[in-house]
Amino acid sequence: MPKKRKNRGRHKGDKGKEPMVYCDNCGKLVPRSKAVRVTVPYSPVPADLARELEKQGAIVPRYYVTKTYCINCAIYLGILKVRAEDERKRKVTITRAPVRREGTTIPPVTKPAQSQLPPPTQPGSQEAQTKS
């Protein structure tokens, strides 16, 4: 029987049964090997405000949140893409989840430049900045 994908859309192998997980976006129940898991940085501070604060030397906390999506939601959110027949056979590694905004196109996946990271700050100067 011809296969659409080499791994049949899963990474279960010949394991048999496996637990089901819920999609974090729509709540659908999907097998764990079929679900798409992405770890995205999350900050309680808005991005533009965080940039301003880091410029002044404050350390803005960044938490990593792991999300589980079904295939429909992963494609809708731009984590996975519909691929051509010959491209479908190779394995893809999910590096990050692009942010989807209304009315904008999703930019291509690029690694953040090292120069964008804020320089290390001294603990003494940080306290003075946060008080003001």
- Chain residues binding Zn ion by CB under 5 A are 23, 25-26, 28, 70, 73
Work out the number of other CB atoms within 10 angstroms of the CB of residue 53: 16
Q: Measured from the CB atom, is 29 or 128 closer to Zn ion?
A: 29
* Six-digit token string for 91: 């394995």
Cβ atoms 94, 35 nearer than 8 A: no
CB-nearer residue toward Zn ion: 26 or 128:
26
Give the shortest CB-32-to-Zn ion separation in angstroms. 14
CB 25 within 8 A of CB 73: yes
Quote the CA–CA distance of 42 and 99 in Å, as a whole number. 12
The distance of closest approach from Cβ of residue 49 to Zn ion in the complex, given in angstroms and rounded to an integer, is 30
Smallest separation (angstroms) from Zn ion to the CB of 118: 35
Return the number of the residue (25 or 121) whose C-beta is nearest Zn ion: 25
